[in-house]
Structure 1
Amino acid sequence: MNKLKVVLDKTLITSASLLLILMVIFSVWQVLARYVFNISSPGTEESIRYLLIWFGLLTAAYVFGAKKHIAILFFREKFSPRTQLLIERVTDVLIILLAAILMVFGGIKIVLLTSAQTAAATGISLGVVYAALPVSGVFIIIYTVISMMTKRINENEEVGV
């Protein structure tokens, strides 16, 4: 499981880095085109917007997998360790359900609804743009399952199974 997580981490951080580099290049080009060369570059602004959608969702999935997301631990820490474990498990199941229903299932429906539509300046299919939602949902589900399995293995080691 740890190897899978490492591969996912590297894939997501590399993809997010490439998207960020592209956004910077397009932004610099847009400024140069507008203010130095006095020409318009309508496709770059739209491209940056769509790259930002992919960047934001892939980075959110990576942050989720790295356990660097916002968590409210104040309430959970007031309970016994056994209750805390139960709360974690219930939370993990809820995360999987929400990611599966809202991000994956809902995202696929949005992709199917918008796949025939194209962006005005670039001609990119909006289905490709919105595909970031189910893709990041799948990554979040995988990270949650890995986390649950890792917790289970650690529990068994502590108990001596």
Structure 2
Amino acid sequence: MEHVRTLLDRVILTVCCGLFITMVMAASWQVISRYALNSPSTISEAFLRFSLVWMSMIAIAYVAGLREHVSLTLFIDKLDGLWKVMLEISIEILFIFFAVFVMIYGGTQAAYNTMSQIYPMLGIPKGVLYMSLPVSGSIIVIYCLMNCQQILQDSYSFRSQS
């Protein structure tokens, strides 16, 4: 399972870094074309908006996979043993429910409903933008399942050492 996590991490980091580099180049071209050539690029701003949404959604999935998301650790830090494991698993299950029902189901519906609308500057369906929701939701579910397995594995190895 650790091999799958490492592979998924590398793919996500490569995609995010590639998108970021492309966004920097597009923003630089926007500035050059606007001020140096006095003819602003029409698609770079739309591309940047589109890319920012995709990169943000994929990065959110990555951070959720690392369990570095914003959370209140007040209760988890005070617990130990079985209660701590149960609370950590419960948090992961809540993430899974949110990802499945809001991101995957809702995102798929939004993408399906907007596939006939064309993004004017880029000439692609708006549904492609909304597909970032089910893609990142699916990644979150995969990461949460791996996190649950890791939590259970860590608690089992801790109990067997005691």
Whether these two folds match at TM > 0.5 is yes
1:119 is displaced (CA, Å) by 0.9
* Secondary structure at the counterpart of residue 78 of structure 2: coil
Aligned counterpart, 1:130: 130
TM-score (norm 1): 0.94
Distance 2:93 2:69 in 1: 17
Aligned counterpart, 2:152: 152
Distance 2:118 2:62 in 1: 29
Gaps of 5+ in 2: none
* Secondary structure at the counterpart of residue 6 of structure 2: helix
Aligned counterpart, 2:5: 5
Identity of aligned residues (%): 30
1:43 is displaced (CA, Å) by 0.8
Task: Name the Cα RMSD after superposition.
Answer: 1.5
Letter in 1 for 2:124: I
Aligned length: 161
Distance 1:34 1:159 in 2: 63
Letter in 2 for 1:45: E
1:38 is displaced (CA, Å) by 0.8
1:94 is displaced (CA, Å) by 1.1
Letter in 2 for 1:58: I
CA deviations 1:17-38 (Å, max 9, x no partner) are 0110111111000111110001
Gaps of 5+ in 1: none
* Contact 2:103/2:134 (8 A) holds in 1: yes
1:76 is displaced (CA, Å) by 2.5
- Name the stretch that deviates more: 116-125 or 12-21: 116-125
